[in-house]
């Protein structure tokens, strides 16, 4: 896992821009604390920061092969879980390897198959190859969008980076956010390709972007396709388990200490139990908790139970070396922690205390492990969220999670400046994004109306919602140099389960029926019977009080936050008594925006 960046300019000698390349590269230091390297030629400059995971001495980057037609150089972030099979195949085709790293395999795969190498990779990756034989840059991103990848088209080429901060470090880029960027920031829809910053784009998951003297060209090598599912229920359950066993085994490969993230839910518990069966060593597991949370827990609409009892049941049964990372409200509300999260994500689009606790959890884990496996994305794959079963969310002509968010937060959660809100036309923006996405769902002939609708809802979660959480996971973990792997995002599992009928996904009348049946033999009964509970959030009222204290500090100043946030709303809630979930979220979002404005000083074009 690493951080990459680079610059291609066909009317510019980049050998004179080493200082700028160094500045862009250093913004990725958190992603790669172990090593750095650059590659510069007349029209291409590549930068790399390395987090060493496999072949610690041999995987240095940029990695290059000098051919008779010119150098071919690679900067690579991520992991290829099938690199050993690919290396064997390439050796059979005459390739010779000097290291045991997956990076070298990817480079030689490009030399052998060109951009078609993407079809052969199983993993999470974002990489760029400068092909000096044809003077072109090739950028490739994994199928699910696990690894972030951004680019910024220029008059004579392109800038790119693992994160926007790498691109923004180039003096030719003005940090501008327009109305369209604000729409994306507050829409919570993760429009494919949209990067919020004006002029910047994401390399879309499952695509290859090529830049040459004729411009920029995008091709898609993978998309979520509809296929008839012919396996019966028993065969399907067995196939899910077979895939999970193989996926976890592949993703446990590392030359550094490994661990698992354990929440006590079905997803992370299944992954932990399978990992414990496969490893010869005792699995290390970590969970986040809050001071007094289990003792004072109050069930609500989102969470019926605290995590801790279930976490400990799994740890005991699987025999893990377990540690709870217990946080208090002062840590969660610390402005410095909030600033670190904003810096990690480059945008104020977080989830409040859930982002802070995730960052602090990862920071604590990094003291023990370099690689962690997460249960992230199982809800999107197997159908675990409440909105999958909510009649109103199912029927609504919008993204289902927005229906539940609106119900949960209500009008009290509306924090935007009224003039800005009027200009944004958010309903139209979200509606257009929804209709565009649903139009891409391939129907299955003969499918019932319910099955067809649930296919659409699954598709929306797998192409929009999951990317929100994957970006959050990557950016907060890599901010502390921790590689988090997501077994449930293996494209083989995603493709297989996506095409199972909804009736089979819920055959026992509950959420995630297939996953529960496939892993029940390795789980404690308490977890098998537990109802889905989202990532935990503190219930300590002291946290909300601290938020209000911090927000009050902005009311006396002429701060640009009020170009975005409604000052009257802030004034009212900052001095009120009641702080419900909607108000708390509004306070968190306001603080995020204020810190982001101070940190990045973006040029806002809001008219």
Query: Which positions are annotated as active-site residues?
Result: 2
Nearest residue to 456 via CA among 394, 507, 377:
394
Angle (deg, nearest 10), helices 426-438 and 449-460: 120
The whole-angstrom separation of Cα 124 and Cα 487 is 10
Phi, psi of 117 (to 5 degrees): -60, -30
The whole-angstrom separation of Cα 594 and Cα 565 is 9
Q: Number of H helices and number of E strands within the chain?
A: 27, 19
Measure Cα distances from 414 to 178, 205, 490, 550, 584 in Å.
20, 31, 37, 19, 11
11 SS3 class: coil
601 SS3 class: coil
The whole-angstrom separation of Cα 476 and Cα 356 is 9
Nearest residue to 332 via CA among 299, 362, 356, 366:
356
Nearest residue to 266 via CA among 1, 531, 582:
531
Joined together, the tokens standing for residue 169 give 């470090």
A 10 A CB-CB count for 556 gives 7
Biggest distance spanned by C-alpha atoms of the chain: 73
| One-character DSSP codes across 31-86 | T-BSEEEEEE-SSEEEEEEE---SSTTT--SSEEEEETTEEEEEEEEEEETTHHHH
The whole-angstrom separation of Cα 263 and Cα 281 is 21
Angle (deg, nearest 10), helices 426-438 and 179-187: 70
């Amino acid at each position: 896992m690493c951080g990459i960046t680079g610059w291609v300019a066909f009317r510019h000698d980049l050998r004179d821009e080493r200082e700028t390349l160094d500045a862009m590269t250093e913004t990725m230091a958190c992603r790669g604390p172990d090593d750095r390297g650059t590659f510069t030629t007349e029209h291409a400059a590549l930068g790399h920061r390395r987090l060493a995971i496999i072949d610690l001495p041999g995987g240095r980057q940029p990695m290059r092969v000098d051919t008779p037609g010119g150098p071919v150089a690679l900067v690579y972030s991520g992991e290829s879980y099938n690199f050993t099979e690919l290396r064997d195949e390439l050796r059979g085709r005459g390739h010779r390897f000097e290291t045991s790293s997956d990076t070298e395999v990817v480079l030689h795969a490009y030399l052998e198959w060109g951009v078609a190498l993407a079809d052969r990779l199983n993993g999470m990756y974002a990489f760029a190859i400068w092909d000096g034989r044809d003077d072109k840059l090739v950028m490739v991103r994994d199928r699910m969008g696990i690894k972030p990848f951004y680019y910024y088209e220029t008059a004579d080429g392109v800038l790119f980076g693992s994160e926007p901060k790498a691109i923004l470090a180039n003096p030719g880029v003005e940090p501008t956010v327009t109305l369209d960027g604000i729409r994306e920031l507050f829409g919570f829809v993760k429009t494919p390709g949209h990067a919020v910053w004006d002029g910047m784009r994401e390399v879309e998951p499952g695509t290859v972007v090529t830049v040459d003297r004729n411009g920029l060209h995008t091709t898609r090598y993978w998309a979520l396709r509809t296929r008839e599912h012919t396996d019966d229920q028993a065969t399907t359950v067995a196939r899910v388990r077979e895939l999970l066993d193989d996926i976890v085994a592949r993703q446990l490969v590392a030359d550094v200490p490994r661990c698992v993230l354990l929440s006590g839910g079905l997803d992370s518990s299944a992954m932990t139990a399978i990992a414990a069966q496969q490893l010869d060593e005792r699995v290390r597991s970590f969970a986040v908790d809050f001071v007094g949370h289990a003792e004072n827990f109050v069930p609500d609409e989102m969470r019926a139970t605290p995590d801790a009892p279930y976490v400990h049941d799994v740890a005991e049964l699987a025999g893990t070396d377990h540690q709870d990372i217990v946080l208090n409200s002062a840590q969660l509300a610390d402005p410095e922690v909030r600033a670190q999260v904003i810096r990690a994500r480059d945008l104020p689009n977080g989830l409040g205390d859930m982002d802070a606790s995730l960052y602090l959890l990862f920071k604590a884990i990094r003291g023990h492990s370099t690689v962690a496996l997460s249960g992230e994305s199982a809800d999107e794959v197997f159908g675990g969220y409440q909105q999958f079963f909510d009649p109103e969310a199912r029927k609504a002509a919008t993204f289902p999670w927005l229906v539940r968010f609106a119900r949960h937060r209500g009008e009290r959660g509306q924090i935007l400046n009224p003039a800005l809100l009027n200009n944004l036309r958010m309903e139209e923006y979200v509606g257009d994004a929804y209709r565009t996405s649903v139009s891409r769902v391939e129907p299955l002939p003969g499918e019932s109306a319910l099955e067809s609708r649930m296919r659409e809802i699954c598709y929306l979660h797998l192409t929009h919602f999951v990317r929100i959480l994957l970006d959050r996971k990557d950016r907060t973990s890599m901010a502390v140099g921790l590689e988090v792997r997501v077994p449930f995002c293996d494209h083989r599992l995603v493709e297989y389960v996506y095409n199972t009928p909804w009736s089979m996904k819920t055959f026992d009348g509950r959420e995630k029926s297939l996953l529960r049946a496939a892993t029940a033999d390795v789980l404690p009964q308490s977890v098998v019977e537990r109802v889905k509970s989202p990532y935990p959030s503190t219930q300590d009222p002291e946290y909300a009080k601290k938020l209000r204290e911090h927000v009050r500090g902005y009311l006396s100043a002429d701060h640009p936050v009020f170009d975005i946030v409604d000052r009257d709303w802030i004034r009212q809630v900052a001095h009120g008594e009641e702080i419900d979930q909607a108000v708390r979220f509004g306070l968190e979002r306001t603080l995020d925006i204020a810190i982001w404005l101070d940190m990045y000083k973006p040029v806002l074009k809001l008219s």
